[in-house]
Amino acid sequence: MQQTPLVDPFARAITYLRVSVTDRCDFRCVYCMAENMTFLPKRELLTLEELDRLCSTFIGLGVKKLRITGGEPLVRRDILTFFGAMGRHLESGALDELTVTTNGSQLEKHAAALYAAGVRRVNLSLDTLNEEKFARVTRWGRLAQVMRGIDAAQAAGLRIKINTVALKGFNEDELFDLVDWCASRDMDLTFIEVMPMGDLGNDYRVGQYWSVGEVRAQLEERFTTVDLAERTGGPARYVRLAETGQKIGFITPLSHNFCESCNRVRLTCTGELYMCLGQEDRADLRAPLREHPDSNAPLIGAIRAAIAAKPEGHDFDYSRQRADGQVSRHMSHTGG
């Protein structure tokens, strides 16, 4: 029986679920993780079967878009069986889209299987085209491996969008190189402001912060930008570059609050539901999931109670040269 859809206190229908399937990653990006991370004990993680049950419950409550994140989701053992299981909801029409956010390290191995499971779009995090800088920002990553992954993904038929974190003093000089490279590969590109998350400290975050408004202003020195009305269910606002025809996105949680149209919640790999990326409020869904293996009613009740507590917006703010609204958890915990 179809359940009443999820609607938060501000009349926003919740149709987009982002699911972190692991807190582990094979990179250690400087704005996301500490170099020596202590990861969660495996017993605390939801099993693949539990993830299936949780996601299926959300889909029954009206979620139409499912994005799988991490950490790096493709490093989790047997994760392709989970993607295959979610594919049944695409086939039934209950789910409109199944997507993944990845660092690209495992795409060479898994791109074809992702496509077979019903994935058609991939968001790939890439902040530089310079091998030395890439090794520095990811600490453990190798650019050539990611480039092979992009080749494999495009060969498999996956549409790729590049997500680039705008980092002052790091990739400012590569703005036009990144745009030209994406145009040459027929890939969309989104610039994201660095968010005040984790334990690196406010001064460090402020030092990294490069306003996406400044990114756009620099682009407009060379290109004609045409605003697009389209939304993909996320926070990005898009323009088209008239000269190349490519789509450029801007995610501006700091210089422009995008909360008024928020339609999403985030589920961690331990079953915590975060109603807002920039708030600490969360709901425990693992307990009702495990305590009631034969009934989804308590789980649905917990989900509805959580959505009823969804805040109007986050408190991220870099004004006055402080990273106000900082949250203590790493981005890898909530899901990128």
Helix (H) or strand (E) holding 240: strand 237-241
Q: Are strands 247-251 and 188-193 parallel, antiparallel or unpaired?
A: parallel
Judge whether 31 is annotated as a binding position. Answer: yes
Judge whether 276 is annotated as a binding position. Answer: yes
Q: Are strands 247-251 and 237-241 parallel, antiparallel or unpaired?
A: antiparallel
Q: Which two tokens stand for residue 75?
A: 């490093």
Judge whether 269 is annotated as a binding position. Answer: no
Judge whether 195 is annotated as a binding position. Answer: yes
In DSSP terms, which residues pair with 123 in a beta bridge? 101, 161
Query: What 8-state DSSP symbol labels residue 261?
Result: G
d(CA 285, CA 268): 10
* Helical axes 212-219 vs 175-184, angle rounded to 10°: 70
Judge whether 64 is annotated as a binding position. Answer: no
Judge whether 264 is annotated as a binding position. Answer: yes
What residue has token string 């299981």? Answer: 85
Judge whether 182 is annotated as a binding position. Answer: no
Judge whether 164 is annotated as a binding position. Answer: no
How many degrees, rounded to 5, is the angle at CA 173 between CA 169 and CA 178?
A: 120
Judge whether 320 is annotated as a binding position. Answer: no
Judge whether 161 is annotated as a binding position. Answer: yes
Q: Are strands 121-125 and 159-166 parallel, antiparallel or unpaired?
A: parallel
Judge whether 244 is annotated as a binding position. Answer: no
CB-CB contact of 127 with 165 (8 Å): yes
Q: Which two tokens stand for residue 256?
A: 């422009």
Q: Which two tokens stand for residue 33?
A: 């993780």
Binding residues for GTP: 18, 67, 101, 161, 264-266
Binding residues for [4Fe-4S] cluster: 25, 29, 32, 259, 262, 276
Binding residues: 18, 25, 29, 31-32, 67, 71, 101, 125, 161, 195, 259, 262, 264-266, 276
Binding residues for S-adenosyl-L-methionine: 31, 71, 125, 195
